[in-house]
Amino acid sequence: MTKLRILGVDPGSRYTGWGVLDQEGNRLIHIASGRIEAHKEGELPQRLLKIHQGILEVVNAYQPQETAIEKVFVSVNGQATLVLGQARGVALLALVEGGLRVAEYAPNEVKSAVSGQGKAPKEQILAMVRVILNLQGQKISEDQSDALAVAICHANSRTFRNRALQAGN
């Protein structure tokens, strides 16, 4: 059975979540996940350095074959959007520098893939990520959970694509 390793990333200027899972047929196996704590680095340029470096380290350590990231919900706060954009830019850069393609999913697609509904609250996502990846009882941060959710969404989306292709043949 072919195995596919997927990295999901949830960028932020304070915390950047990341999650690696293997897809083997219908099974999703949690490999590793965590968050990069850029807020400790002080000013924005140093934070960007930390986020970029952190994602490069994850890519090198776990060698994902495919990566996924959430499309950003543009907030009414322009300054917050700008800061998030800068964090997201260096995270994306680290992925494409490794030669990886990046799939993007809207927040409601990610929520729907994990919980069956596009407007599920954060706690429900966290609970479902735990169930799907068999992480019950383990402490995982919201950033970590969001990164794993987008990786799960990517895995499902691939599964659907493959099924659709088979059905079409």
Please choose, out of 92-100, 110-118, 132-140, 146-154, the segment that lies near its own copies by the rule CB under 8 A.
Answer: 92-100
Tell which positions 12-41 bind its own copies, by CB under 8 A. none
> Is 22 annotated as belonging to a binding site?
no
How far apart are CB 46 and its own copies at their closest, in Å?
7
How far apart are CB 125 and its own copies at their closest, in Å?
22
* DSSP assignment string, 84-107: HHHHHHHHHHHHHHTT--EEEE-H
- CA–CA–CA angle 50, 92, 68 (5° rounding): 115
**Tokens 């068999």 — which residue?**
134
* 11/168 Cα distance (integer angstroms): 36
- Catalytic residue positions? 10, 70, 143
Phi and psi at residue 11, to the nearest 5°: -75, 150
The residue within the footprint of its own copies, chosen from 59, 95, 153, 155 (CB under 8 A), is: 95
Structure tokens at 79: 């300054």
Mapped onto helix, strand or coil, the DSSP state of residue 137 is coil
The residue within the footprint of its own copies, chosen from 42, 85, 118, 121 (CB under 8 A), is: 85
Counting contacts by CB under 8 A, is residue 88 touching its own copies?
A: yes
Provide the binding-site residues for its own copies, judged by CB under 8 A: 44-46, 48-49, 52, 72, 74-76, 78-79, 81-90, 92-93, 95-97, 102
